[in-house]
Amino acid sequence: MNAKLIVTSAVLALALGMATPAFAQDQTQGDKQDQPKAQQKAQKQQNQNDQKQAKQQQKTQQQQNQNDQKQAKQQQKAQQQQNQNNQKQAQQQQKGQHQQNQDNQKQAKQQQKAEQQQNQNDQKQAQQQQQQPQRTDAQQREEQTTWQNHRAGNWQSDHRSWQQRGGYNGYRVPDDRYSVYFGQRNVFRIYGLPFMVFDGYPRFQYNGYWITLLDPWPGNWSNDWYDTDDVYVLYENDGYYLYDDRYPGIGIAVSISM
């Protein structure tokens, strides 16, 4: 009995031993068949990923190229605009310099003309003074007394403009002669000019025109301004006024007659 059991166990073990390598061999062959499919699938996925990455890189490169082109166009446009601005600024500067040169030339001509006019006025005044007879002491005292009596006690209350006087209705100097003898550029001195008293007002003759001072002269002016100071006659605010260069802004109402 025991011998049979032993034989049976041996046979069973031998059968199992022979069956196990066969099963293992089949399992190995199955694994070998599945391995290429997995590798093939992985390779396919890798290829798809590579293609996808390549497309993304290509798209990114295209976008970068477009951005570079756009930036280059913007820079080119900005440079063109800058060039246009520089040209415009250069033209404006050139135009401004040209205008400045013209203004300088015009101003130089005006100054030259004013100097010539002043020289002519000085020569005329010198000739007039030479042609005038010498005043006697009595005439000089009378003239000085008239001037001093015509001094204002209070300029603000004693002075009256032509508007306050109702407007100027006297003789008007023609424009062509006014520009030669009158205005701020044509200064002269009263000293040595023909002088007389008219209705109590001092009157002197200048280039053929009698000029009568209707206003008193300000008390803060020098005592001998009428002998020493440069004066001029200006038409403004509908009337004639006499100004002293030493006291700008103060006009004495005067009338003019032939």
Predicted confidence (pLDDT) per residue in 12-49, tens digit: 455 555 545 555 455 556 565 667 788 888 888 888 88
Q: What angle is formed at CA 234 by the lines to CA 189 and CA 174, rounded to 5 degrees?
A: 105
Question: What pLDDT was estimated at residue 7?
Answer: 46
CB-CB contact of 240 with 255 (8 Å): yes
Confidence of residue 240 (pLDDT cuts 50, 70, 90): very high
Mean pLDDT over 85-99 rounds to: 86
Q: Are 146 and 232 in contact (CB under 8 A)?
A: no
Please tell me the predicted confidence (pLDDT) of residue 224. 93
40 located within any domain: no
Model pLDDT, residue 31: 60
Threshold 0.75, pTM exceeds: no
Number of domains in the chain: 1
Q: Please report which confidence band the pLDDT of residue 244 belongs to, taking 50, 70 and 90 as the band edges.
A: very high
pLDDT at 11: 47
Answer yes or no: is 173 within a domain.
Answer: yes
When the pLDDT of each residue in the chain is averaged and rounded to a whole number, the result is: 83
Instruction: Please name every residue paired with 256 in a beta bridge, in sequence order, or none if there are none.
Output: 211
Does residue 51 lie within any of the structural domains? no
164 is in which domain, residue-wise? 136-257
Q: What percentage of the chain reaches a pLDDT higher than 70?
A: 79
β-pairing verdict for 201-206 and 195-198 = antiparallel
In a domain, 169, yes or no: yes
In a domain, 189, yes or no: yes
pLDDT at position 65 is: 87
Establish if 195 belongs to a structural domain: yes
Classify residue 26: in a domain, yes or no: no
Q: What is the pLDDT of residue 26?
A: 58
Q: 168-202: per-residue pLDDT in tens?
A: 999 999 999 999 999 999 999 999 899 999 999 99
Does a structural domain hold residue 211? yes
Rounded Cα distance, 166 and 239, in Å: 10
DSSP string, 83-150: HHHHHHHHHHHHHHHHHHHHHHHHHHHHHHHHHHHHHHHHHHHHHHHHHSPPPPHHHHHHHHHHHHHT
pLDDT at 32: 58
